[in-house]
Amino acid sequence: MTEKIPSVLTGVSGEYFVAAELSRRGYIASITLRNTKGIDVLASNQDTSKSVGIQVKTNHGKRKAWILNQKAENYFEENLFYIFVNLKGTNERPDFYIVPSKVVAEYIEKSHREWLNTPGKKGKPHKDNPMRMFKDEEDQYLEKWGSLGL
């Protein structure tokens, strides 16, 4: 494991890793400007007949879990995907988890509701907040590049 980098650099590096991996696989990938709401990378096939928007979430370490905001519960489209990036050591290729946005929205809404209904420390109820978490502990979406439909 390498020295922990600042979270802003973790996020930026994830976007570049996603764009590079898409390019390596023969797709056209463009990182968007920061003013593009909810889309970090635009990707298309080579003849540009099909394109998708990608929201990138990046973590650093062994945990297969990523933090999202409550807004993600209602932010989904057929051509919108999340690519969750797990950065590992400096000389290791990251893991990529490719998940349709609708799957993410349903997962975080359900898991948050379950969390709220489960007592916390000392049996006290959890307090609602805008934080959500997506997990893929069984690697169901690991390297599922074909799901982009490009």
pLDDT digits (tens, 9 = 90+) for 4-17: 788 888 999 999 99
Give the single-character DSSP code of 46: T
**Exposure of 80 in the CB half-sphere (CA atoms within 13 A):** 15
Kindly report, residue by residue over 32-72, the tens digit of the pLDDT. 987 778 899 999 999 999 999 999 999 998 889 999 999 99
Kindly report, residue by residue over 61-73, the tens digit of the pLDDT. 888 999 999 999 9
pTM of the shown model: 0.93
Specify burial of residue 31 (Cβ count, 10 A radius: 0-12, 13-18, 19+): middle
| Both tokens assigned to 147 | 């799901």
pLDDT of residue 26: 97
Instruction: Tell me the helix, strand and coil percentages in the chain, rounded to 5.
Output: 30, 30, 40
Question: What are the structural domains of the chain?
Answer: 7-145 (3.40.1350.10)
Q: Is residue 101 a contact partner of residue 84, using CB atoms and an 8 Å limit? A: no
Give the single-character DSSP code of 2: P
